[in-house]
Chain A
Amino acid sequence: AQKITQTQPGMFVQEKEAVTLDCTYDTSDPSYGLFWYKQPSSGEMIFLIYQGSYDQQNATEGRYSLNFQKARKSANLVISASQLGDSAMYFCAMKAGTASKLTFGTGTRLQVTL
């Protein structure tokens, strides 16, 4: 069975600071992909970044980077230079092996303050 755990229900960060959102996962399949999505108050789900289990480098997309620690089964999202528009819910998700579905964590609500 696949499981995603996000232990931070809420986080605060000051504008222009960096923040790390935690995600741990569990799967017995050696082939998997890890995803982060952002959900603003408008409700849409916005894809941010992807990391494959066999990728040698940590994924980066602009201000987003994924701190992938395979041995610890963690895939933390790092947002650098936070902006007010980063305030949203952030979901970590995983797709493993031949499974068809993305399994989501419970999310972390990030609030960026002045």
Chain B
Amino acid sequence: GAGVSQSPSNKVTEKGKDVELRCDPISGHTALYWYRQSLGQGLEFLIYFQGNSAPDKSGLPSDRFSAERTGGSVSTLTIQRTQQEDSAVYLCASSSRQGRVTGELFFGEGSRLTVL
């Protein structure tokens, strides 16, 4: 499809395991965002990629969290040594500066992570 694609849609893991979440943005979009949404909460910014610029990592909650964006397209969010408080929906979004609205983000359907 033409939208933002995320996988897996659901992931259940044991405490202490590492997980990888994948995001495939809309083709041609230069900006890519990761947000986290805990149950009943708003969206918490994690990290932002724009083209070849250094990513804005200011929202990553700890050094267990990291993200890469290869070739300016697909991004992977990695959480090492998962903790129960990492349980949340991880949302990816992409944006084009050519969009009709400055800064409008297009979101994927999210990856629901459950840490047991």
> Is the C-beta of A103 less than 8 angstroms from some C-beta in chain B?
yes
A70 CB, nearest partner CB in chain B, Å: 17
Q: What is the 8 Å Cβ interface bit string for chain A, positions 81-114, against chain B (1 contact, 0 not)?
A: 0000000000101010000111111110000000
Distance in angstroms between the alpha carbons of A95 and B103 in the assembled complex:
7
Partner of A102, one of B41, B89, B105, B109: B105
Bound CA span A95–B56, Å: 14
Is there contact, CB below 8 Å, between B56 and A100? yes
Q: Is the CB of B45 within 8 A of A52?
A: no
Q: Which of A33-51 contact B (CB under 8 A)?
A: 33, 35, 37, 42-45, 47, 50
Residues of chain B having any CB pair with chain A under 8 Å = 31, 33, 35, 41-43, 45, 48, 50, 56, 59, 89, 91, 93, 101-110
Q: Which 3 A-B pairs have the closest CB atoms?
A: A45-B107, A104-B43, A106-B42
Q: A47-B106, A50-B102 are in contact. List 20 more A-B contacts (CB 8 A).
A: A35-B104, A42-B109, A43-B109, A44-B109, A44-B110, A45-B107, A47-B105, A50-B103, A52-B102, A91-B43, A101-B33, A101-B45, A101-B59, A102-B103, A103-B45, A104-B35, A104-B43, A105-B42, A106-B41, A107-B42
